[in-house]
Amino acid sequence: MKNSKIQGILDKAKEAIESADSVETFNSIKSFFLSRKSELMSMMSTLGTLEPEERKEFGQELNQAKEEISKSIDEKIEELSKKELAEKLAKEQIDISLPSSNFTSGGKNPFHVIKDEIVDIFLGMGFDVADGPEVESDEYNFKLLNIPDDHPARDMQDTFYISDNVLLRTHTSPVQAHVMQQAEGKPIRIICPGKTYRRDDDDATHSHQFAQIEGLVIDKNINIGHLKATLELFVKQMFGEKREIRLRPSYFPFTEPSVEVDITCANCDGKGCSMCKGTGYIEILGGGMVHPNVLKMNGYDPEVYSGFAFGVGIERVAILRYGIDDIRRFYQNDVRFLHQYRKKA
């Protein structure tokens, strides 16, 4: 600065700015040096009295000094508030490890996990879902399924009776008869999940109540190959692409031929382990071609129509998939058990 007075003010101002350390001090410095009544500003009012040449130079120097002071104060204030904010934020560090608010879903009994999953798979294959009553007549539970009066399966030992000819269904197969009668001779493609009852004492592997999913397809020219392919699709979807199935001849009164379906053991990939008792296979469901007598009794001409049926135990599938140690767990509803089945995968 040419003007030593201005230079003096500027130096003083800089000195004050340097030693200041709070927003308040800066504000008072600003007002001391730059307010209307300040030395600098009062010098501004003397401009008019000067010669034009002198006025120009003096005015520029005044403005320059004013801007310099103002700018360095603003910079300092910004610097300071940034620092203060940083200090404030640093003090606000929380313990992110504390418990969160609860937004998880409930636990689904693995029984329902499996049931819903099987239903979804068959819906995807174009099956509908049928329901039927748990209290059934002797006729639907047995007779219409080709189980004659003297068949051992009808024993009082195995069935809960309500009266001589009313009982708790022992399988979901009676729904087959209901559906066939309602469909009145048209093609059928249904599954039916449902509770069933047998006169068994409850222990780790037996339950007086359990559930099955029944499947039934009726159309022209249906054969075992169709059953095999349908179950292959189901098994791969349910237990993984690597699972293979194997059919073994068996016997059910309402199918002919009848098969037991084994899948390669998921635990050992079919090599043989303790889970599959060294066989490499695990029995998973039963099925077969609908017996001509069953078709006939329920309104289908077995010369024209044929069909296949199968049944799978829901708890059995859940036990296999999750390694559940006791069938009674499904009915205990211990939340420590249920909460293990929250994930959707």
- Which residue's structure tokens are 């418990």? 99
Between CA 338 and CA 207 the distance in angstroms is: 19
| Binding-site member from 3, 34, 44, 257 for another protein (CB under 8 A) | 257
| Binding-site member from 66, 76, 108, 243 for another protein (CB under 8 A) | 108
User: For another protein, what does the binding mask look like between residues 295 and 324, x meaning CB under 8 A?
Assistant: -----------x------------------
Between CA 295 and CA 306 the distance in angstroms is: 8
| DSSP conformation class of 112 | H
| Binding-site member from 161, 204, 301, 325 for another protein (CB under 8 A) | 161
Please report how close the Cβ of residue 101 comes to another protein at its closest, in angstroms.
5
**By CB under 8 A, is residue 278 in contact with another protein?**
no
Query: Which residues are within 8 A (CB) of 164 and not within 5 positions of it... i.e. 6 or more apart?
Result: 138
Structure tokens at 238: 């349910």
Residues in 321-340 that interact with another protein by CB under 8 A: 330-336, 338-339
**By CB under 8 A, is residue 216 in contact with another protein?**
no
Please report how close the Cβ of residue 123 comes to another protein at its closest, in angstroms.
4
Residue 261 near residue 215, CB atoms below 8 Å: no
Residues in 29-88 that interact with another protein by CB under 8 A: none
Measured torsion, CA atoms of residues 262, 282, 339, 121, in degrees rounded to the nearest 10 = -10
For the chain, the straight-line distance linking the first and the last C-alpha, in angstroms and rounded, comes to 78
Which run of H or E residues covers position 183? Answer: helix 174-183
Question: Which lies closer to another protein via its Cβ, residue 3 or residue 293?
Answer: 293
| Binding-site member from 172, 176, 258, 264 for another protein (CB under 8 A) | 258
The region of 3-11, 171-179, 214-222, 264-272 touching another protein under the rule CB under 8 A is 214-222
Between CA 282 and CA 245 the distance in angstroms is: 9
Residues in 118-137 that interact with another protein by CB under 8 A: 122-129, 131, 133-135
Size of the residue set binding another protein (CB under 8 A): 88
Structure tokens at 307: 């069909």
Question: Which lies closer to another protein via its Cβ, residue 177 or residue 289?
Answer: 289
